[in-house]
Structures are given as structure tokens and as C-alpha cells.
Amino acid sequence: MKLDLLTSLYVFMLAAFIGFEVIRRVSPLLHTPLMSLTNALDAIAVVGAIILAGESHEHRALLAKVLGTIAIVAATSNIVGGFLITDRMLRMFKASGPRKQ
């Protein structure tokens, strides 16, 4: 499905507004996990890298393959590492209720 420039700009603008509204509500308590989670989500760039590395190209095929492959490695490490550490951090946040009595 092709997107034109204007549609892309609308998508970007609306997503930015949603981002502001949703993230404004995140408690400062969780700002570190917030950063590691958005970092993992941002690594969705891996889909572009996968297509780049997997598609056949008429010229400069080697360049595309090499850069695409390195890009997949970089993004995947962010996905795996980002989700892992976010979950580890969040597991540590406990309310005081059950711990006291």
C-alpha cells in the first residue's frame, strides 16, 4: 500500500499527539522503564532492515545485503535487550501492602 507525502505527515502528526497525551500520563516513578520500552518499540525499524537485506537488488546488491544485515543485528539486540530489561525493572516495583502484613 503506497502512502503519499501528505498522508505520511498526517500519520506522523497524529501519532505525535497520541504520544504526548499517553506519555504525559506516565508516572515519573517509571521514567527509566519508559525509556527502555520506547527504545525496544523503536527497534521496529528492524522491518525495514529485513526487507533491505532480503530483497533482490539489481545493482549494489552486496551493499544492501551487508548494511541490511548489520542493521538487523543492531535492531534485534535492542528488541530483545529492551523488552528483557524493561520487564526486569517492572518486576521490582512492588507496593507496600502485602510486604508489611
Partner 1 sequence: MPTEHLIEATYLIATALFILSLKWLGSPTTARRGVFAGEIGMLLAVGGTLMYQGIVEYKWIAIALVLGSIIGVPLGKVAMTAVPQRTALSHAFGALCVTLVGTAEYYLRAPDVPPFMMGVLSMEVILGSLTFTGSLMAAGKLQEILPQRPITYKGQNVVNLGLLALAVVVAAALVRHPEKMQLFPVIVGIPLVFGVMMIIPIGGADMPTVISLLNSYAGLSAAAMGFVLQSKLLIIAGALDGASGFILSVNMSKAMNRSFTNVLFGAFGQEQASGAGLGSAQARSVRSATPEEAAAILAAANKVVIVPGYGMAVAQAQHKVRELYDALTKRGIDVRFGIHPVAGRMPGHMNVLLAEADIPYDKLLDMDEINCEFPQTDVALIIGANDVTNPAARSDHASPIFGMPILDVDKARTVMVIKRSMGAGFAGIENPLYYLDKTLMLFGDAKNFAGAIVRELAGGRE
Footprint of partner 1 on 12-41 (CB under 8 A): 12, 15-16, 18-20, 22-41
Closest alpha carbon to 41 in 25, 28, 54, 22: 22
Q: Is 101 in the site for partner 1 (CB under 8 A)?
A: no
Give Dmax over CA atoms of the chain in angstroms.
Answer: 69
Minimal distance, residue 97 CB to partner 1, in Å: 8
**Helix (H/G/I), strand (E/B), else coil: 66:** helix
State which of positions 54-83 bind partner 1 (CB under 8 A): 54-57, 59-60, 63-65, 67-83
